[in-house]
Amino acid sequence: MNRVLAMILAGGASERLSILASERAKPAVPFGGKYRIIDFTLSNCVNSAIYNVAVLTQFNPRSLAQHIGVGRPWDLDRIAGGITLLQPFLSRSDRDWYRGTADAIYQNLYYVEEQRVDEVLILSGDHVYNMRYDHMISTHRSRESDVTVAVTEVPASEISRFGIIALDHNERVVNFQEKPKTAKSNLASMGIYVFDKSVLIDCLEEYGRKKGGLDFGYNILPSIIGKYKLHGYKFRGYWRDIGTIESYWQANMDLIADLPDLNLYDRTAEIRTAYKNKPPAKLGPNAQAVRSLLSNGTIINGQVENSVIFSGVFVEERAVVKDSVILDDSTVGREATVDRAIIDKQVWIGPGCYIGYGIDFTANKEEPENLNSGITVVGKGARIPGDMKVGRNCKIGCWVEDADFASKSVPSGESVASKKPRRHPL
């Protein structure tokens, strides 16, 4: 789509994703067997013929920058337009770290002003969905709107997690509440905004200089209702904010349904990612795999059920993996069991281990708000010694070793951390 600049906000840290986001930005968290979360936003851009894309990074940007590279998997390695990574920097001016969604755009306003575009499409890099942005922009233009906000229906129990928008009969925005406890509307902002370029510049010049003008949801949008033509755009497809361990696990599980709402096999809306040059998945003579996703380079000699298995994973003989997500290049040893767990990259689970053991669902003592649904999380590079029993809602830190375990049992709700903190996250 011509004369559109897409700006993807991809710099946020995520404490609610626990150790999955401790050494990487949230948009760089692996998802769905072969992707990273930001792949969905980038793919939506190119599927909408938007090839002028800027990605705003900040927290632990290394893996995200390596993944995106020059944008070749998304056909964004172009001379005109293409992809640009924008990082915060300090100078003699008033620049600082990004302090919110609006502040991130405000600190890059010079970049917006340089672009020969009519609209600026502001996106979040940490949501999983398949959407044609060009349809939304066409609606924005036909209504002659100043600002358009994408909205989707959410359950009443989820209202407090989102910005909630009320629309009139013409789909004009009449109210915006950021994360209210209760609301009459169930339309949540998806963090997708189309601004006329001149309107965005005016809004950020007016509110961006103010101490309270740091965030679109909290500050900018509520302030401009009635001042500009602000419309909602209703999206009725699959959309998930992967904001918690449970929502991350559930979104992965959604993909293994017989007819998943998010169709990764739709060739007209392909989700692209950086290619990994690994051989095909292989099933051994006694392997069993039921209702699961298996990626390239995986070798299954045991049993896998209702799980998402990333590339290079090795499940040894008589090992059992069920209701779990196992990331790249991890090993599940002989006769080990992994039950309702998320295993990060390069993890070694020794023979005879049981991850997700027992029926005690005590919330994690360090992170009770993040780990309370029975899911145990094992951090990147951890090595779990053989015959270890690890309960529910446990947190096994990144790069832990045999010596970090005090006994052969980690009770539900407990955590194990490495005694040798790494200086340079990978």
Question: What are the C-alpha distances in Å from 280 to residues 284, 314, 339?
Answer: 13, 13, 25
**What integer is the mean pLDDT of 158-181?**
92
pLDDT at 422: 61
Distance of alpha carbon 243 from alpha carbon 387, whole angstroms: 33
What lies within 8 Å, CB to CB, of 224 at 6+ separation is 147, 203, 230
Considering the segment(s) 4-254 as one domain, its CATH architecture is Alpha-Beta Complex (3.90)
pLDDT at 182: 87
Residue 70 has pLDDT above 60, yes or no: yes
pTM: 0.93
Element (H, E) at 175: strand 173-178
Q: In the chain, where are the structural domains located? A: 4-254, 277-426
Torsion of CA 252, 254, 259, 264, to 10 degrees: -30
Residue 35 has pLDDT above 50, yes or no: yes
Domain 277-426, what fold? UDP N-Acetylglucosamine Acyltransferase; domain 1 (2.160.10)
Mean pLDDT for the chain?
92
Q: How confident is the model at residue 356 (pLDDT cuts 50, 70, 90)?
A: very high
pLDDT at 426: 44
Element (H, E) at 308: strand 308-309
Whether 4-254 shares its CATH topology with 277-426 is answered no
pLDDT at 209: 65
Residue 202 has pLDDT above 50, yes or no: yes
